[in-house]
Amino acid sequence: MSVNQQAHTGPPYGQPQPGYQGYQQPAYGGQPLPGVPQSQYGAYNGPMPGYQQPVPPQGYFPSLGFPSKGSPVSLNSDTSSLAPNFIGSLRAPPTSGAPPPASGASLPSGHLAYGQFGHGDVQNGIPASAAPMQRPPASQSFLPGSAPTPVSQTATFQQYGPPPASVQQLSNHMAGMTIGSTTASAPSPAGLGYGPPTSVPPVSGSFSATGSGLYTPYTASQGPSPTSVSQGLPLAQPLFPGQLMSTQRLPTQVPGFAPPPSSAGIGPSSYPPSTGAPRPPTMPGPPLPGQTVAGPPTSQPNHVSSPPPPSTMSGPHPGPPMSGLHGPPPPTHPPQPGYQMQQNGSFGQVRGPQPNYGGAYPGTPNYGSQPGPPPPPKRLDPDSIPSPIQVIEDDRSNRGSEPFVTGVRGQVPPLVTTNFLVKDQGNASPRYIRCTSYNIPCTSDMAKQSQVPLAAVIKPLATLPPEETLPYLVDHGESGPVRCNRCKAYMCPFMQFIEGGRRFQCCFCSCVTEVPPHYFQHLDHTGKRVDFYDRPELSLGSYEFLATVDYCKNNKFPSPPAFIFMIDVSYNAVKSGLVRLICEELKSLLDYLPREGNMEESAIRVGFVTYNKVLHFYNVKSSLAQPQMMVVSDVADMFVPLLDGFLVNVNESRTVIASLLDQIPEMFADTRETETVFAPVIQAGLEALKAAECAGKLFIFHTSLPIAEAPGKLKNRDDKKLINTDKEKTLFQPQTSFYNNLAKDCVAQGCCVDLFLFPNQYLDVATLGVVTYQTGGSIYKYAYFQLETDQDRFLNDLRRDVQKEVGFDAVMRVRTSTGIRATDFFGAFYMSNTTDVEMAGLDCDKTITVEFKHDDKLSEDSGALLQCALLYTSCAGQRRLRIHNLSLNCCIQLADLYRNCETDTLINYLAKYAYRGVLNSPVKTVRDALINQCAQILACYRKNCASPSSAGQLILPECMKLLPVYLNCVLKSDVLQPGPEVTTDDRAYIRQLVTSMDVAETNVFFYPRLLPLAKADVNSDSLPAAIRNSEERLSKGDIYLLENGLNIFVWVGVNVQQGLIQNLFGVSSFSQISSALSTLPVLENPFSKKVRSIVDMLQVQRSRYMKLIIVKQEDKLEMLFKHFLVEDKSLSGGASYVDFLCHMHKEIRQLLS
């Protein structure tokens, strides 16, 4: 038994408890992590008075001054020498500490949006019973429910403890390549407070009655469930002439598959099994004219590397307003008339052969390549198969008009594509947590049978729309939050108060805990505390606690975090104008650092480093007249040559910082240094944060493969010939474990690394991204960066990245009620044990996906509970706990599971699972496993839930009818099936991006949004109705916009009216439209305004600024565009939707027979 299972013996009241040590991990205590030598940096732990003038260590050159603009000193030529590098001494007279100019202090209107915790929403202590806190009686249903009986507890807890080896391997596998060795070690003392004990204290039998019935498990008699609105409507419509669907099981039936004898063209014999079918060693798919990258395309999508376009336009770009980070909600609009014929479950008629869909699998090698395509006597009509657009539109019209009230257990929320408001009545908003299913099978046997993964996609710091209330901050003073004595779960709406309110029974582990005297409150006649509505932690799904000092590293409240800007000043960075651009931008951007809502200025301190083969640190102390540079050329043993003056307050050092940012581009203007280091840069930032005893974020702007002699030096090992071989996985793995160890050190310090990459060739994203990935940071990549075309995108990304809400030094744990357990985790983080997700930084866009497995039976009565607790340091240095609670239903009928699934979340999980799998398995194995799992999911439904019907019919569960189309998109994605134009770095980049995506992001990434523009209503704010992603849906006379979260394509048909072209592009004919445009021209006419407003609206909705690419029909760039028409067969061999559906049908039939 592990230490996790020690019974808790701490005091019963709310004081600091031993269990809190759970967050005081060795890594946070400044002590060495197991196996990580720390002595190397020992000298820099702690403040070092008098350090400003030490004996210069080897390789370190103090500089007395700073070159003026007029006398740049060429640094690159002599930095490697050991001679002191005095660069000028043109100090101006001291400015006598005059206050910094107030210029730039005005904030953009939307700035407050980043101060999540102010605006009068903060509640310290017991909130007044103000209107917002009043909740309707409906929320009573969320009082703690019937708890498991003591008898079952004892049995249940035996299941806790260290997970089996297989689980550990899963976790290790996910967290990174070299983590395995550490995770296999014994749980850290951190685990002490969390694990349930081996023995369960006797529980008074008196509460079993108290709680009964307080939960209101969903039953049909309680009126229509939310799911029945969108998904559960009985299908009375004839599917096709002469056939009626069952009204009970609510499946989706695809008529083209029934009955088998007549549908010879798609009979199973036509398709060899996917498993075992050899893939060709090279990329399949016939090259199209123009596909060879002979000449530079005029533009490329965000992650596709090809030579940059010559730019002709760099007009002012209407960037997204700052306020837009909450984004105007996309207006809902009525279903498109063209889709009215389609209803749930009804997919129209079988059409004759379609010219665009010649054979079912002609030439597609992925699912077998038996000689000769099958005869296509009868093709599936694409209109007859489930349409993503239709599902999205139906959900919008059914669920977009009313708020989603979270007061009912196990409610499936509206789709991520539906615009809806959330009212928290005891469960976390779907903006924070989405689940693959809201109804969990009661037994693991059922779960295994269905193969439906049970997972939650959690975005703990999600940004909310302005209409919704931010989580309240609860301050219990020195005693801290009230927690269960045993499992350490935090007080939440599901805890059940008993014995007149003197004790409460834990909804997670059933342990009974004394209520601390200061927290005591009487119960009303229903057993509810009379202060129920006054306390967020009793009545809301999401809230925050102010953490006490026990939740802090070294039992010390944290210092405010710091941002360190680290700029590559090698030849390419300078020559492209990047260095000057960054410096110019920082001058204004530093005024918008994140801050608490009630603070006048940000508490975040800033520091600056430039580097090529050596590092340059800058002293920007406010008392200096000019910044001072210190060069460290001994990169083998990185240290920070100055403490005082490196990290400064922006307002205090405004003049010195401005001077520095003016001088950096001049100083390196003539550099000839092309080589860079990389790991020492991260080490320098890490050491600086260590010395300052704070957490923080490094913003690294980097251009090339770090080949200079230094730790972490890399070599070019790109080899696309490895694709489709057993060694393909190495392309996704880091080439050295050095960065894994560095990442571990960074996490221990709370040093988050954000990486902005500007490569002109391979720079090994898979390795450079390791630290970013494991510290919870973000990677941005701008291949062939060109100032004219890419600066808007880069600057918008940088602005948002600097300003967005971020928590530092974060630890997340997900607790579950008895019967299920979090077993696997996906995302950008580090894990040193099997339960705690550690992130040096966690921002508002990052999600962590958690998979659950049964370890006991669940009960329909009590359901299943999740509590996600995130401990983090706010941007002002406040230590906080953010709590999200969610209650799910449990079922003994598989049909209930299938009725309450969310396919978008399922796809999010499956994509992350597959993208992690490519690290260890051949890509083909990963793809086959995905197909097989989904076939099993659908076959289980067919076998157990669908009404008896011909075996030749494909019957899909209503909630999963889009599973095949979306799954196909994942299978065709660049990571799992790269096209010839996709680089190794692109794939590594996409792999990392997807791993942290939320459900809305994966939804649009895998199935892009395609909007026809020509007939857009210029007088309305609404978006035109989207259409399906297939070439046959495009009209030559229309203009379309396609977005996937990384790119926006504007496709112009050859027959578009001249007037539209004039209005949108300001030119008189199709041939004059320039594909090099990176923004749409600003023209004063309604159509131009409308299209630009749509683009702006989409930009604001996404976490990254999308690259705009103009595509003219029949132009060579159209190949790139077609890559995103995901219902069609892809150039890289990906199946069309129709063909893939046939294939899935065959797989399902094989499983059933």
Q: Which is nearer to Zn ion, 21 or 85 (CB)?
A: 21
Q: How many CB atoms lie within 10 A of CB 151?
A: 11
Q: Nearest CA to 315 among 1074, 1097, 1104?
A: 1074
Closest distance to Zn ion from the beta carbon of 144 (Å):
12
Q: Are 513 and 12 in contact (CB under 8 A)?
A: yes
Residues paired with residue 542 on neighbouring β-strands, in sequence order: 884
Binding region for Zn ion (CB under 5 A) out of 16-24, 115-123, 505-513, 1001-1009 = 505-513
Q: Which is nearer to Zn ion, 200 or 956 (CB)?
A: 200
Sign, Cα dihedral of 831, 835, 838, 843: positive
Sign, Cα dihedral of 301, 304, 309, 315: positive
Q: Which is nearer to Zn ion, 486 or 729 (CB)?
A: 486
Structure tokens at 38: 């720390």
Q: Which is nearer to Zn ion, 484 or 615 (CB)?
A: 484
Q: Which is nearer to Zn ion, 653 or 816 (CB)?
A: 816
Q: Nearest CA to 472 among 117, 186, 798?
A: 117
Q: Are 113 and 178 in contact (CB under 8 A)?
A: no
Longest dimension (CA), the chain: 94
Binding region for Zn ion (CB under 5 A) out of 2-10, 47-55, 323-331, 500-508 = 500-508
Sequence-distant (≥ 6) Cβ neighbours of residue 543 within 8 angstroms: 471, 472, 473, 474, 536, 537, 882, 883
Binding region for Zn ion (CB under 5 A) out of 213-221, 243-251, 485-493, 1023-1031 = 485-493
Binding region for Zn ion (CB under 5 A) out of 37-45, 313-321, 489-497, 939-947 = 489-497
Give the x-and-dash track for 439-478 against Zn ion (CB under 5 A): ----------------------------------------
State whether residue 338 is helix, strand or coil: helix
Q: What is the DSSP letter of 407?
A: T
Q: Which is nearer to Zn ion, 865 or 1050 (CB)?
A: 865
Binding region for Zn ion (CB under 5 A) out of 502-510, 697-705, 756-764, 926-934 = 502-510
Q: Which is nearer to Zn ion, 818 or 1047 (CB)?
A: 818
Quick one: angle between helices 765-774 and 984-995, nearest 10?
20
Q: Which is nearer to Zn ion, 509 or 1098 (CB)?
A: 509
Residues paired with residue 544 on neighbouring β-strands, in sequence order: 473, 882
Closest distance to Zn ion from the beta carbon of 486 (Å):
5
- Region label for 187, one of left (φ > 0), alpha (ψ between -120 and 50) or beta (otherwise): beta
Closest distance to Zn ion from the beta carbon of 869 (Å):
12
Q: Which is nearer to Zn ion, 508 or 519 (CB)?
A: 508
Sequence-distant (≥ 6) Cβ neighbours of residue 793 within 8 angstroms: 782, 1078, 1105, 1106, 1107
| Beta strands at 562-568 and 696-702: parallel, antiparallel or unpaired | parallel
Size of the site for Zn ion (CB under 5 A): 8
CA dist 557 and 42 (Å) reads: 22
Closest distance to Zn ion from the beta carbon of 201 (Å):
11
Closest distance to Zn ion from the beta carbon of 950 (Å):
51
Which of the residues 246 through 285 are near Zn ion (CB under 5 A)? Answer: none
Closest distance to Zn ion from the beta carbon of 990 (Å):
40
Torsions phi, psi of 239, nearest 5?
Answer: -75, -45
Closest distance to Zn ion from the beta carbon of 155 (Å):
16
Among 179, 487, 753, 894, binds Zn ion (CB under 5 A): 487
Closest distance to Zn ion from the beta carbon of 488 (Å):
7
Binding region for Zn ion (CB under 5 A) out of 41-49, 198-206, 264-272, 506-514 = 506-514
Among 511, 593, 994, 1034, binds Zn ion (CB under 5 A): 511
Binding region for Zn ion (CB under 5 A) out of 261-269, 380-388, 480-488, 640-648 = 480-488
814 interacts with Zn ion by CB under 5 A? no
Binding region for Zn ion (CB under 5 A) out of 35-43, 324-332, 509-517, 1115-1123 = 509-517
CA dist 602 and 594 (Å) reads: 6
484 interacts with Zn ion by CB under 5 A? yes
Sequence-distant (≥ 6) Cβ neighbours of residue 1121 within 8 angstroms: 1042, 1049, 1051, 1109, 1111
Amino acid at the residue 575: K
Among 73, 461, 509, 1144, binds Zn ion (CB under 5 A): 509
Q: How far is CA 695 from CA 598, 773, 805, 840, in A?
A: 21, 17, 15, 8
CA dist 492 and 495 (Å) reads: 6
Residues paired with residue 1048 on neighbouring β-strands, in sequence order: 1043, 1108
Q: Which is nearer to Zn ion, 508 or 773 (CB)?
A: 508
Binding region for Zn ion (CB under 5 A) out of 387-395, 507-515, 606-614, 658-666 = 507-515
Sequence-distant (≥ 6) Cβ neighbours of residue 1023 within 8 angstroms: 330, 331, 333, 1011, 1016, 1094, 1097
Binding region for Zn ion (CB under 5 A) out of 235-243, 503-511, 571-579, 766-774 = 503-511
Give the x-and-dash track for 62-101 against Zn ion (CB under 5 A): ----------------------------------------
Closest distance to Zn ion from the beta carbon of 853 (Å):
20
Closest distance to Zn ion from the beta carbon of 519 (Å):
16
Among 506, 684, 886, 994, binds Zn ion (CB under 5 A): 506
Q: Which is nearer to Zn ion, 501 or 777 (CB)?
A: 501
Q: How many CB atoms lie within 10 A of CB 286?
A: 8
Q: Which is nearer to Zn ion, 884 or 1107 (CB)?
A: 884
Closest distance to Zn ion from the beta carbon of 861 (Å):
18
Binding region for Zn ion (CB under 5 A) out of 131-139, 510-518, 593-601, 669-677 = 510-518
CA dihedral 267, 269, 271, 275 (to 10 degrees): 130
489 interacts with Zn ion by CB under 5 A? yes
Closest distance to Zn ion from the beta carbon of 509 (Å):
3
E strand residue ranges, 1100-1149: 1107-1112
State whether residue 585 is helix, strand or coil: helix
Q: Which is nearer to Zn ion, 476 or 486 (CB)?
A: 486
Closest distance to Zn ion from the beta carbon of 513 (Å):
8
Which of the residues 190 through 229 are near Zn ion (CB under 5 A)? Answer: none
Closest distance to Zn ion from the beta carbon of 209 (Å):
20
Q: Which is nearer to Zn ion, 815 or 853 (CB)?
A: 815
Q: Which is nearer to Zn ion, 422 or 515 (CB)?
A: 515
Q: Which is nearer to Zn ion, 511 or 1144 (CB)?
A: 511
The string of DSSP codes covering 892-924 is: SSHHHHHHTB-HHHHHHHHHHHHHHHTTTS-HH
CA dist 591 and 600 (Å) reads: 11
Closest distance to Zn ion from the beta carbon of 196 (Å):
7
Q: Which is nearer to Zn ion, 215 or 1121 (CB)?
A: 215
Closest distance to Zn ion from the beta carbon of 147 (Å):
10
Cα 219 to its chain centre, rounded Å, is 34
Q: Are 531 and 538 in contact (CB under 8 A)?
A: yes
Q: Which is nearer to Zn ion, 5 or 789 (CB)?
A: 5
Closest distance to Zn ion from the beta carbon of 504 (Å):
10
User: Could you list the residues that contact Zn ion (CB under 5 A)?
Assistant: 484, 486-487, 489, 506, 508-509, 511
